[in-house]
Amino acid sequence: MSRFQLHQEALPHLPVPPLQQTLDRYLLALQPIISEEELNHTQELVAEFRKPGGVGERLQKGLERRAKKTENWLSDWWLKTAYLEYRLPVVVHSSPGVVLPKQDFLDRQGQLRFAAKLIEGILDFKTMIDNETLPVEYLGGKPLCMNQYYQILSSCRIPGPKRDSIVNYAKGKKQSRHITVVHNFQFFELDVYNSDGSPLTTDQLFIQLEKIWNTSLQTNKEPIGILTTNHRNSWAKAYNNLLKDKTNKESVRTIEKSICTVCLDAPMPRVSEDIYKSRVAAQMLHGGGSRWNSGNRWFDKTLQFIIAEDGSCGLVYEHAPSEGPPIVALLDHIVEYTKKPELVRSPMIPLPMPKKLRFNITPEIKNDIEKAKQNLNIMVEDLDVKVMVFHQFGKTFPKSEKISPDAFIQLALQLAYYRMYGHVCATYESASLRMFRLGRTDTIRSTSVESLKFVQSMDSPDKSKADLLRRATQAHRQYTDMAIRGNAIDRHLLGLKLQAIEDLVSMPELFMDTAYAVAMHFNLSTSQVPAKTDCVMCFGPVVPDGYGICYNPMDEHINFAISAFNSCADTNAARMAHYLEKALLDMRILLQSTPKSKL
Partner residues linked to 387 by β-bridges: 561
Determine phi and psi for 135, rounding to 5 degrees: -65, 135
Eight-class DSSP state of 111: H
pLDDT of residue 7: 86
Helix 465-484 / helix 405-421 crossing angle, nearest 10 deg: 120
Question: Please, which pLDDT band fits residue 369 given cuts at 50, 70 and 90?
Answer: very high
Please check the confidence at residue 162 and state whether its pLDDT lies above 70.
yes
Over range 387-405, report the average pLDDT: 97
Q: Distance between CA atoms of 34 and 13, rounded to whole angstroms?
A: 34
Tell me the per-residue pLDDT of 289-341, one tens digit each, with 9 for 90 and over: 999 999 999 999 999 999 999 899 999 999 999 999 999 999 999 999 988 88
pLDDT of residue 344: 66
- The overall average pLDDT reported for the chain is 94
Please check the confidence at residue 469 and state whether its pLDDT lies above 70.
yes
Over range 554-564, report the average pLDDT: 97
By the 10 Å C-beta count (0-12 exposed, 13-18 middle, 19+ buried), 128 is classed as middle
Alpha-carbon torsion angle 192, 196, 201, 207, nearest 10: -60
pLDDT of residue 504: 78
pLDDT of residue 197: 87
Helix 19-30 / helix 55-69 crossing angle, nearest 10 deg: 120
Partner residues linked to 524 by β-bridges: 427, 547
pLDDT of residue 317: 97
Please check the confidence at residue 598 and state whether its pLDDT lies above 60.
no
Tell me the per-residue pLDDT of 340-351, one tens digit each, with 9 for 90 and over: 887 666 667 889
Please check the confidence at residue 365 and state whether its pLDDT lies above 60.
yes
Q: Distance between CA atoms of 248 and 136, rounded to whole angstroms?
A: 40
Q: 312 among the known binding-site residues?
A: no
Over range 59-88, report the average pLDDT: 95
Q: 403 among the known binding-site residues?
A: yes
- The b/e string for 97-108 (b: 16+ C-beta within 10 A; e otherwise) is bbbbeebebeee
- Locate all alpha helices (DSSP H) within 288-339, ordered by sequence: 324-339
Q: Do the Cβ atoms of 448 and 476 come closer than 8 Å?
A: yes
Q: 350 among the known binding-site residues?
A: no
Task: Provide the pairing of β-strand 165-168 with 178-183.
Answer: unpaired
Tell me the per-residue pLDDT of 192-212, one tens digit each, with 9 for 90 and over: 998 888 899 999 999 999 999
Please check the confidence at residue 139 and state whether its pLDDT lies above 80.
yes
* Rounded percentage of the chain residues whose pLDDT exceeds 90: 87
C-alpha angle 188/216/221, rounded to 5°? 90
pLDDT of residue 347: 66
Q: Which of 336, 591, 363 is nearest to 470 (CA)?
A: 591
Question: Please, which pLDDT band fits residue 505 given cuts at 50, 70 and 90?
Answer: confident
Over range 446-455, report the average pLDDT: 97
Q: CB 214: neighbour CB atoms within 10 A?
A: 9
- Helix (H) / strand (E) element for 431: namely strand 427-432
**Active-site hit among 93, 286, 319, 476:** 319
pLDDT of residue 278: 95
- Helix (H) / strand (E) element for 517: namely helix 514-519
Q: 2 among the known binding-site residues?
A: no
Task: Provide the pairing of β-strand 524-528 with 536-538.
Answer: unpaired
Partner residues linked to 99 by β-bridges: 314, 536
Q: 399 among the known binding-site residues?
A: yes
Over range 512-525, report the average pLDDT: 97
Task: Provide the pairing of β-strand 155-158 with 142-143.
Answer: unpaired
pLDDT of residue 121: 96
Helix 573-592 / helix 465-484 crossing angle, nearest 10 deg: 110
Over range 90-116, report the average pLDDT: 93
3-state percent breakdown (helix, strand, coil) of the chain, nearest 5: 45, 15, 40
Over range 565-575, report the average pLDDT: 97
Q: 195 among the known binding-site residues?
A: no
pLDDT of residue 341: 80
Whole-structure pTM value: 0.95
Partner residues linked to 166 by β-bridges: 157
Q: Do the Cβ atoms of 212 and 190 come closer than 8 Å?
A: yes
Catalytic site includes residue 476: no
Q: What is the CA radius of gyration of the chain?
A: 25
pLDDT of residue 6: 86
Q: 477 among the known binding-site residues?
A: yes
Report the side by side order of strands in the sheet with 558-565: 383-390, 558-565, 547-553, 524-528, 427-432, 441-445
Q: Do the Cβ atoms of 157 and 235 come closer than 8 Å?
A: no
Q: 401 among the known binding-site residues?
A: yes
CA 6 to chain CA centroid, Å, is 28
Between 82 and 219, residue with greater pLDDT:
82
